[in-house]
Amino acid sequence: MSKKIKKKVVASSPRKKVTPTVSRARSSALGASNDELIYGKQHYILMVAGMGLMFLGFILMLGGDMPDNNTWDPNIIYSNRRTVLAPILILLGLIVEIVAVFKK
């Protein structure tokens, strides 16, 4: 049987001073310091604008009470304000929110 020789690996002498690594627990997850916000002022303005558009769209969908309980008027329930304008405003609000979050 041949004898297996164990090789010993020795690192060369360090020429540079080795500094210890910094714990990641001390820094925040996104690399921002505690004094900085994640988003800037423009991002928050866009977010509020998007929420405002969505809120306005939901407000436009409200209503639809009939003037008389014994009659039914489809023009009140199926008006263009409710079926076209309000959903478009809600979708625009969502798009503005997405742009606000992903904008650099």
pLDDT digits (tens, 9 = 90+) for 28-64: 555 555 678 888 999 999 999 999 999 999 999 998 7
81 within some domain: yes
Task: Give how many domains the chain has, as a whole number.
Answer: 1
Taking CA atoms, 75 is separated from 10, 50, 87, in Å, by 87, 29, 17
22 within some domain: no
Q: Rounded to the nearest 10 degrees, how much is the dihedral formed by the CA atoms of 12, 16, 18, 22?
A: -130
What pLDDT is recorded for position 51?
A: 98
Beta carbons of 94 and 50 less than 8 angstroms apart = yes
Beta carbons of 53 and 85 less than 8 angstroms apart = no
* pLDDT class of 69 with cuts at 50, 70, 90: confident
Beta carbons of 54 and 28 less than 8 angstroms apart = no
1 within some domain: no
What pLDDT is recorded for position 80?
A: 92
Q: Residue 46: which domain range?
A: 41-65+73-102
49 within some domain: yes
79 within some domain: yes
95 within some domain: yes
For the full predicted model, state whether its pTM sits above 0.75.
no
Half-sphere exposure of 56 (CA within 13 A, CB side): 13
